[in-house]
Structure 1
Amino acid sequence: MRVGVISDTHMPVRARALPAACRDVLAGCDLILHAGDHADGASLAALRAIGPPVVAVHGNADGEDLRRALPASAEVDAGGVRIAVVHDAGPREGRIGRLRRRFPGADVVVFGHSHVPLVERDAGGFAIVNPGSPTDKRTQPHHTMALVRVDGGRAEAEIVILERDDPA
């Protein structure tokens, strides 16, 4: 199973649409996760139109309409792996332990907010993933997303570097 992970798209403020490379990766996935800061409902509708099921949470920059429509956190089973999604994971110090305690049933926690891509795993195999942003890299050198591959009840995550195009 392939799980496409994005966050912090801030559309249409930072971009009119997702970059084509991001849309292509997401279209080839079995599930899409969005860790918040969509910016408006139209961008969420466009994400859902890509095809695979979407699990999304709201972020701090999302308006009232999205805050009412989306939860602050979510959990989903993906091929026998439990993945939690939340927008803000708090400060870097102690983050992996804090997320393990907050989501005790999860194997992986996906988060956003910082726009800083990250894949980190503890000694017990618990993983945290921040996909960065496909549309607003801030101080990062690249626009990014993440891909989580689930096989045999085990998840492997990687950051995907996107070449930014000018979406239509």
Structure 2
Amino acid sequence: MVKIGIIADTHIKNSDKEKKTSLLNEIKEPFKNVDKIIHAGDIINDDFRIELEKIAPVEYVTGEEDNIKNLKEYTVIKVEQYDIGIIHQLPKDLEKFCKLKNLFGGILIFGHTHKPLIKGTSFNTLLLNPGSPTEPKAPDKIKGFKNPVARPSIMILNIDSGIVSTFIINLRLHF
């Protein structure tokens, strides 16, 4: 089994030492024993990036607020039979993008919205957004549910012999 920790939109500035420490302490347990961490952009602070790498190897993409050198806009990793694309902001024509990147039947991880999301598409791509642990926004309303609440969040993705399971973890952070 491969266990991946997913995080995005941390928005930790160099001056936010308390925020960085609190977040690292809060994700330590859920990210314990992960094989890899994916950060889907807007990491902002290179110190936080270095601290994440002490937990597990990290795949990064750049967000619109990042100023860290050598971060790509898009990358793809292979886990078992799945191609996992990583991007910060979803493209306007998502289906065309997924076709060009060979993600039909794959997984696309993104950030930018600060809203957690687990959603399948009609073209068989699983969309994952971990939300934001520091600047959360409430998920979109779903029929039958009242008033979604903004909660700091991260995500875990497990892939075991071709079976994908993923879940959102709400954190106990208040900034």
TM-score range (shorter-chain normalised) is: 0.7 to 0.9
- Larger-gyration structure (1/2): 2
Question: Does the alignment pair 1:79 with 2:83?
Answer: no
| Distance in 1, Cα, partners of 2:162 & 2:100 | 21
Give the unaligned 5+ runs of structure 2: 139-148
**C-alpha displacement at 1:144, in angstroms?**
0.5
The answer as to whether partners of 2:131 and 2:137 remain within 8 angstroms in 1 is no
Q: Which residue of 2 aligns with 1:152?
A: 161
Identity score, percent = 24
Length, aligned pairs only:
159
For residue 82 of structure 1, report the CA deviation from its aligned partner: 1.6
Q: Distance in 2 between matches of 1:54 and 1:161?
A: 21
Range that drifts further, 119-128 or 2-11 = 119-128
Paired residue type of 2:42: D
* Whole-Å separation in 2 of the counterparts to 1:99 and 1:110: 13
Answer 1 or 2: higher relative contact order, Cα 8 Å, separation at least 6: 1
Calculate the TM-score normalised by the size of structure 2.
0.80
Q: Of residues 94, 100, 104 in structure 1, which corresponds to 2:98?
A: 100
Q: State the TM-score, normalizing by the size of structure 1.
A: 0.83
Which of the numbers 51, 54, 78 marks the counterpart of 1:49?
A: 54
- What does residue range 123-138 of structure 1 map to in structure 2 within 5 Å? 123=122, 125-138=124-137
- Which of the residues 29, 33, 38 maps onto 2:38? 33
Shift of 1:19: 4.7
CA distance in 1, matches of 2:169, 2:100: 27
Letter of the 2:150 partner, please give it: P
Query: Is 2:122 the partner of 1:113?
Result: no
Unpaired runs of at least 5, structure 1: none
Amino acid at match of 1:120: K
Higher mean displacement: 128-137 or 118-127: 118-127
